[in-house]
A and B are shown apart, each in its own frame.
Chain A
Amino acid sequence: MTEPTASDAMRRKTRRFMIAAFAAAIAAFLVIAYGGISKNLVYYWTPTDLHAAGNKAYGATIRLGGMVAPHSVKGRNGVSGLEFDVKDATGIVHVKSSGVPPQMFRENIGVVVEGTMTRSGYFQCNRLMVSHNNEYRAPKAGHAVNKEELQKLMKSTEGLKD
């Protein structure tokens, strides 16, 4: 006959591995969660961060994230290039972008722009991304999404030229 499901020797061995695996996993988790990686790894700077960075902001490729300030969008039709302000609670940065923005782009929506801060005081954007928040709302009565808006949304898949 074969052995039962597991010999005691095997079990002792696998349990040692279990303890070692847990030790490694917990250590890894603690390092990532509390080791300051969340402070050192930054996906984007807010306008406030960008101002605080001073000279480091010039020339380097950075991502800037914030809200599109209301009434700041100019050149929406792509004739003269797109300009808008990105703001957070305490800072504001003027952004110039070439290319057509994603259809979701509008005032008061979150954006992440990739590019660099110029000495002339504006942010030159090479890549514009719109971020949607975690709210999903049904359209209010009388303001159904119309066909035209839909077609625009479909077209937007062409997005920005890289």
Chain B
Amino acid sequence: MRVDNNRFPRLPWIILGLGILFLAIGSYIGLFVAPPEALMGQVQRIMYVHVPTAWNALLAMTFAFVCAVIFLFKSDWKWDARMEAAIEVGVVLAFLLCCQGAIWAKPTWGVWWDWDPRLTTTAVLLFAFLGILALRKFVDDPARRAIWSAVATIIAYVDVPIVYYSVRWWNSLHQLQSSPSTVSRQFWLPLRMNAFGILFLMTAFIMLRARVASMRLEQELVPPPVGESV
């Protein structure tokens, strides 16, 4: 059985190259061209990776959610492979997000971590999707694995809007979302360059990882040879 996630074999590599380029230029501007923040000084520069990582982690989870819905709607294995890829990349981004956040928090807040609503809901998100990856490892039957993990993904996705709104719904240590009006103009360019850089990297990794998942699925879905008992 064909599970085709490889219609444009060279595309992910091109996107990967673009991602590295954007991230390199954005980080250079962020580290050497943009001024330090008035109050926080140099530490604020971690924003240029922290905020793009946050946006893209939520975006990867959103794509996983879309894949889950399409898989359940169409029963097309292609989307199971894509979901697996998106969750994996999303989990890596969410983990990086927590690490970057801790590194930023120590010199500004004075603590590495606190059970603030934003941090707690983000940790829940990380572990929920990590759990789905574990679930996928434990289930051998591809159909059950796909259905269960798609259902789990749709339910776990509920946490994404909660992460986003946590800083508005509750008192929190974490600041509210920034907007162009709360961020000096000199900080916009590196922030946006890196946002696209990480978006491209994420896209390329999801495409490549989906290929690997597709190849594995193709093997798993081969019907047993005729005349042989199973």
Report whether A138 and B186 are in contact in the complex, using a CB–CB cutoff of 8 Å: yes
In the complex, how many angstroms separate the beta carbon of A75 from the nearest chain B beta carbon? 17
Report whether A18 and B69 are in contact in the complex, using a CB–CB cutoff of 8 Å: yes
From the candidates A2, A25, A65, A130, name the one contacting B223 in the complex (CB within 8 A).
A2
Report whether A131 and B107 are in contact in the complex, using a CB–CB cutoff of 8 Å: no
Report whether B110 and A102 are in contact in the complex, using a CB–CB cutoff of 8 Å: yes
Q: A42-B171, A103-B107, A149-B41 are in contact. Are A138 and B35 (CB under 8 A)?
A: yes
Report whether B109 and A130 are in contact in the complex, using a CB–CB cutoff of 8 Å: yes
Tell me whether A120 is interfacial, beta carbon within 8 Å.
no
Interface residues of B in 36-71 (CB under 8 A from A): 36-44, 47, 68-69, 71
In the complex, how many angstroms separate the beta carbon of B27 from the nearest chain A beta carbon? 17
Collect the chain A residues with CB atoms within 8 Å of residue B47's CB: 136
A24 nearest CB neighbor, chain B only:
B155
A44 nearest CB neighbor, chain B only:
B171
Collect the chain A residues with CB atoms within 8 Å of residue B229's CB: none
Collect the chain B residues with CB atoms within 8 Å of residue A3's CB: 1
Collect the chain A residues with CB atoms within 8 Å of residue B147's CB: 13-14, 17
Report whether A38 and B169 are in contact in the complex, using a CB–CB cutoff of 8 Å: yes
9 pairs, A vs B, C-beta closer than 8 Å:
A22-B154, A25-B158, A43-B170, A112-B173, A129-B109, A132-B108, A136-B184, A137-B184, A140-B38
